[in-house]
Amino acid sequence: MVDFIRDAETTALITSDGPAATGPDSGEAGKIIEAMGGGLGLVYEKEDGQLYSGVGSQLTGKLQALVYEWDFDIHGGAVGTIVMDGPSLPANFLIQNAFVNVLTAVTSAGSLTQSFGTKSGATANLLALTAKASLTAGAKIQGIPDFATLADSIKETTAQRPVTAIAVADATAGRVKVVLQGQILA
């Protein structure tokens, strides 16, 4: 995820590594500024994983996509629960759609199963335990909820990061992205 501050007065893009570009016509900064409509300042706070407007309040009322990742090379793959990389789910975030994209096949010497969930709700409320045979490179798996049934939506009341749970046998490889679409309902 790109960490940035877009200041409406200076039209600058600042990354966590320092200034990346300034001015509306300077490459990636210009693309981001144009995509944002040119007038809204945003701050992604890496420390707490929240996205704030230029005045410090969280964005509300707009559909957002939050992306999380489990990478065996970074997180390991021992049986148990692992907190995934990505921003915290904001308090009062209503998850309306979830899907999984397997970038690198999940492998194991045993009969591994893997699930994804919101830490407080459950370890499998976004995607139930799924066998490694379904977690092949390039697989795209619809999670829960799926926009089809409002009753499947999940509303988180506290800020937290989603988790993945590995069961039965340790993983030996794998990289998976989880995308959650929804909005903050105050």
| Same domain flag for 49 and 93 | no
The verdict on 119 and 168 lying in the same domain is yes
> Is 58 a member of any domain?
no
- Looking at the structure, do residues 113 and 72 belong to the same domain, yes or no? yes
pLDDT in tens, 66-96: 999 999 999 999 999 999 998 888 888 999 9
Assign residue 110 the CATH number of its domain: 2.60.120.1110
**Is residue 122 included in any domain, yes or no?**
yes
> Is the bond preceding 145 in cis, omega lying within 30 degrees of 0?
yes
Averaged over 114-128, what is the pLDDT? 89
Q: Is residue 102 part of a domain?
A: yes
Q: What is the mean pLDDT of residues 148-173?
A: 91
Same domain? For 82 and 166 the reply is yes
Same domain, 104 and 130: yes
- More confident position, 181 or 22: 181
Which segment of 33-47, 59-73, 133-147, 165-179 scores lowest on mean pLDDT? 33-47
> 148 or 109: whose pLDDT is higher?
109
DSSP 21-66: EESTTSTHHHHHHHHTTTS--EEEETTTTEEEETTSPBP-SS-EEE
Q: Which of 30-44, 114-128, 161-175 has the highest mean pLDDT?
A: 161-175
17 inside domain = yes
Judge if 173 and 89 occupy the same domain: yes
User: 11 and 89 share a domain?
Assistant: no
Which DSSP string corresponds to 57-88?
PBP-SS-EEEEEEEEHHHH---SEEEEPBSPP
Question: Do 130 and 173 fall into the same domain?
Answer: yes
pLDDT at 134: 97
**In the prediction, which pLDDT does 149 show?**
79
Q: Are residues 142 and 171 in the same domain?
A: yes
Are 44 and 134 in a shared domain?
no
Span 119-127, average pLDDT = 85
Residue % of the chain over a pLDDT of 70? 66
The whole domain housing 69 covers: 64-184
Residues 79 and 160 in one domain: yes
Residue 59 lies in a domain: no
Q: How many domains does the chain have?
A: 2
**Average pLDDT, rounded, for the chain:** 77
Among 21-35, 55-69, 133-147, the range of highest mean pLDDT: 133-147
In a domain, 159, yes or no: yes
